[in-house]
């Protein structure tokens, strides 16, 4: 092993559409912040990042803009993504002037070569001595504690902010996988639309997310209510309404169906021996979207397979990426298969 590898810090990054999580080997999760950046509209200089920037969303004067550098699981604005990452790494004191860290970042299944190159490039730009990529479902499965190196089928559905990643894994690699651009953001957008169309009330993204987290449901029979404040479309004045969990279910119907159909497509393409393993073990749900009330039961009904939410769905991918980086030698087959690349 290269002597620099031995002494350099190992940093795993879940560069998510909604949240960035940084995991440091030997320490665990050292940062978990929303993927938001507030910039000066004229100079493009950073004003705030992460939670501080998210709190400004929808509340900024004309000289400040709040942006999200990632969209649908991939980097949409390279320059801002790099600034955000640099700022987060500085915050957790990762950068060393002497020995640069090794960084592993996870990417959605099936991203283009250009997209994955952009992530590697960003990791190098923020100071990586060596940068690695790992596909999200592999990281999620490792983080969920599934023994993916064995010749056994495991199925993971990771519902993030921008994408839902569905994969069947065996022998350390993805046998069948699919990524759809449906995630928590689309659920928020569906609520914004629903409230506008049914109540003539305009609400912002943050309010929509608050509704989703408090009463959002994949189960039409779930009963809960939430007071929603916004601006009346007709009068332009502030107004509030009461929204029910049942209504959120109506708003989410099409998106939930999209996820269920993708899961079924993956199951239909799965080799029979692996299908048998999955029937026995069930499907593991990871990602923030798996916290939506009733989504496990909904997907179980749609796929006719048991569905279980992992222990720490929000940090599972970051933990799995960290473990993969720690065990590079042991699981080199995982890193050299499929879409993963190594760049130094």
Report whether 115 belongs to an annotated binding site. Answer: no
Q: Which is nearer to ligand ATP, 18 or 131 (CB)?
A: 18
* Stretch binding ligand ATP (CB under 6 A), from 160-168, 190-198, 250-258, 267-275: 160-168
Between residues 69 and 287, which has the closer beta carbon with respect to ligand ATP?
287
One-letter-per-residue 3-state SS of 203-247:
CCHHHHHHHHHHHCECCCCCCCEEEEEEEECCCCCEEEEEEEHHH
Nearer to ligand ATP among residue 85 and residue 274 (C-beta): 85
Cβ burial of 238 (10 Å; 0-12, 13-18, 19+) is: exposed
93 is in an annotated binding site: no
11, 12, 13, 18: which one binds ligand ATP (CB under 6 A): 18
CA distance 299 to 161: 18
Does the protein bind ligand ATP through residue 162 (CB under 6 A)? yes
Cα 95 from Cα 342, distance rounded (Å): 20
Task: Mark residues 30-69: x for contact with ligand ATP by CB under 6 A, - for none.
Answer: ----------------------------------------
Q: Report the candidate in 288, 312, 316 with the shortest Cα–Cα distance to residue 212.
A: 288
Q: How far is CA 135 from the centre of its chain?
A: 12
Q: What is d(CA 18, CA 15) in angstroms, rounded to the nearest whole number?
A: 9
Q: Is 177 annotated as a binding residue?
A: no
Contact with ligand ATP (CB under 6 A): which of 161, 172, 320, 322? Answer: 161
Q: Is 207 in the site for ligand ATP (CB under 6 A)?
A: no
SS3 185: helix
| Binding interface with ligand ATP (CB under 6 A) | 14, 16-19, 73, 160-163, 183-185, 209, 212-213, 216, 287-289, 291-292, 314
Binding site members:
161-163, 209-212, 288-291
Query: Residues annotated as binding site for ATP?
Result: 161-163, 209-212, 288-291
């Amino acid at each position: 092993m290269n002597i620099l590898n031995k002494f350099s810090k190992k940093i795993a990054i879940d560069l998510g559409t909604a949240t960035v999580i940084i995991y440091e080997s030997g320490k665990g999760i050292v940062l978990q912040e929303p993927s938001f950046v507030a910039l000066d509209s004229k100079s493009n200089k950073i004003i705030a990042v992460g939670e501080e920037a998210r709190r400004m969303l929808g509340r900024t004067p004309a000289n400040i803009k709040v942006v999200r550098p990632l969209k649908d699981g991939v980097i949409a604005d390279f320059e801002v993504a790099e600034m955000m990452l640099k700022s987060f790494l500085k915050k957790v004191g990762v950068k060393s002037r002497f020995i640069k860290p090794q960084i592993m970042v996870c990417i959605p299944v099936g991203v283009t070569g250009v997209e994955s190159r952009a992530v590697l490039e960003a990791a190098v730009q923020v100071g990586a001595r060596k940068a690695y990529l790992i596909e999200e479902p592999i990281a999620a499965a490792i983080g969920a504690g599934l023994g993916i190196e064995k010749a056994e089928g495991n199925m993971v559905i990771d519902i993030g902010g921008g994408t839902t990643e569905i994969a069947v894994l065996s022998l350390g690699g993805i046998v069948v996988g699919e990524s759809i651009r449906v995630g928590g953001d689309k659920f928020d957008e569906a609520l914004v639309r629903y409230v506008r169309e049914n109540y003539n009330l305009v609400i912002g993204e943050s309010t929509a997310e608050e509704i989703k987290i408090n009463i959002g449901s994949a189960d039409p029979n779930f009963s809960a209510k939430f007071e929603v404040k916004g601006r009346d479309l007709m009068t332009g004045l502030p107004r509030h309404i009461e929204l029910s969990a049942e209504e959120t279910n109506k708003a989410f119907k099409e998106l939930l169906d999209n996820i269920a159909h993708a899961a079924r497509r993956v199951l239909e393409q799965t080799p029979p021996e692996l299908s048998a393993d999955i029937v026995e073990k069930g499907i593991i749900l990871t990602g923030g979207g798996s916290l939506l009330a009733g989504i496990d039961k909904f997907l179980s009904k749609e796929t006719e397979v048991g569905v279980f939410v992992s222990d720490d769905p929000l940090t599972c991918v970051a933990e799995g990426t960290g473990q993969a980086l720690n065990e590079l030698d042991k699981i080199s087959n995982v890193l050299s298969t499929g879409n993963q690349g190594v760049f130094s």
